[in-house]
Amino acid sequence: MRTTKSSPRSTLILVRHAHTEMAGRFCGQIDPPLSAQGLAQLPELSEKLNGYSFTHIFSSDLVRTRQTAGAIAARHNLPVEVLRSLREVAFGSWEGLDWDQVVAQDPVYAQRWLDHYPSLPAPGGEGLEPFRRRIREAMDAIADAVQGGCAVVVTHGGVIRTFSGNLLRTGSGFQCDYAGCWEISHEGQQWGTLQEIALPSTPEVMACRVMSD
């Protein structure tokens, strides 16, 4: 149970895993590794985060996120704490399919899904409200665990979009590319503004970064 007292300012760096061969498909909770393109993205991702002084690294338990987190952890000499709660939304019977295959399988339900997006789950998949609740609880728990530190959270596109759009109200235009990363603060049980981290970085503007020679 979370306490009601004010907590110190924590910083979370949300990272989407690097590219996989499942790009363009409903990947969900199936478990492909990073592609050659994804592995090639890891050095630049690590460089983006080079100016940070991390206290924790968290990752979804799926292979693509653990590979991405491992590259960051190796550079910062930190262990990775793996959390099932950071998994992508489950797409049920659509997992592994592209949109053309989904439409061919069940055009009526596919159209309903579009008409009611994002409130209608894929067949046999995870509903929006349980997914929202799972992600909010996971992020709140991580912020509490960090307690004034700075943590990397390596997760999935749907997780980051849901957290930013449905919980932080960033709007429908939010872009979430492979190996993208964003900073957000948490203080007194309140979340701050999500800011994308670009290359090159600017250490002086981020609370948990350290100046380097």
Reading the block at residue 116, the tokens are 């009611």
What separation in angstroms does the CA of 123 have from each of 91, 92, 94, 106, 126? Answer: 7, 6, 7, 10, 9
For residue 103, the surrounding DSSP H or E stretch is helix 99-105
Catalytic site residue from 56, 88, 95, 183: 88
Q: How far apart are CA 76 and CA 71, in angstroms?
A: 9
Reading the block at residue 183, the tokens are 């900073």
Residue 17 annotated as catalytic: yes
187: DSSP letter: E
Residue 196 annotated as catalytic: no
Reading the block at residue 69, the tokens are 């987190």
Question: Which residues are identified as catalytic?
Answer: 17, 88
